[in-house]
Structure 1
Amino acid sequence: MRTTMLNLRTGGDEVVLDLTRQCKSFVSGLGDGLLHVFVPHATAGLAIIETGAGSDDDLLAALADLLPADDRWRHRHGTRGHGRSHVMPAVVPPYATVPVDGGRLALGTWQSICLVDLNVDNADRSVRLDFLEG
């Protein structure tokens, strides 16, 4: 198994951050296997979606509808509605696994691996990449 950590700053806004380039670079030349991507945070997740054509903004809008940033949440530290960030990983999981064929991600044409972060109180994020040789 080969492992690396990505250290990222997501800023003070909700974000869908495309990690595909970093993931491609990590598996380049490694052969066949699986890339497992994991976010060791209680308030972030990973999605495999199309980006750049509005789908990333659509995902944030859908999460805002599903998990409103209001005072309904029992988990109440940080900014208003922060508790929803702790519920989000049940909807957008903190992991994704992608096949790797000949050192290349076996993603579909429009698929990207993205970090989803609604937590505007913590801009520092880590993402763990593990390559499991097949």
Structure 2
Amino acid sequence: MKKILMVCLGNICRSPLAHGILASKLPSDQFYVDSAGTANYHIGDPPDQRSIAVAKKHGLDISQQRGQQFRSSFFDEFDIIYAMDESNYDNIIKLARDKDDISKVRLILDEDESVKVKNVPDPYYGDRSGFEYVYNLLDQVCETVSQKLQKN
């Protein structure tokens, strides 16, 4: 089974959406998707209500997810680690123990060449439209990721 981890800062906005979206696009008997945050702000908390609402609007239930902090052992547990932005990418890399760990970490938006932005914006301080934008951005790239993963 291939294991994929989605990572943002607090694990309540972007990474729970990416987690739910990608999991919905992959067969659960072949792929395991989870999410984490580089900060410890929301350990044990459900996703932001706006993330839950936008996911529900698109037919996904992410309400059972709980925030967790990224830890070095995740390099052993996961095959691919997707960072939502460059800042979180850098924070993950700082915890890497060797080149093998580093080779697992990628910026998620780099997976789809048609996406012209490099970082998934953090919608936390904005209104609901920011969450919709992030959902659509992640839905597009997760479709590409899903197709690539299922080809291999």
Q: Which has the higher contact order (CA 8 A, sep 6+)?
A: 1
Do the two structures share a fold, i.e. TM-score over 0.5? no
User: Comparing both structures, which one devotes a greater share of its residues to helix?
Assistant: 2
Which has the greater radius of gyration?
1
TM tier relative to shorter chain: under 0.3
TM-score norm. by structure 1 comes to: 0.27
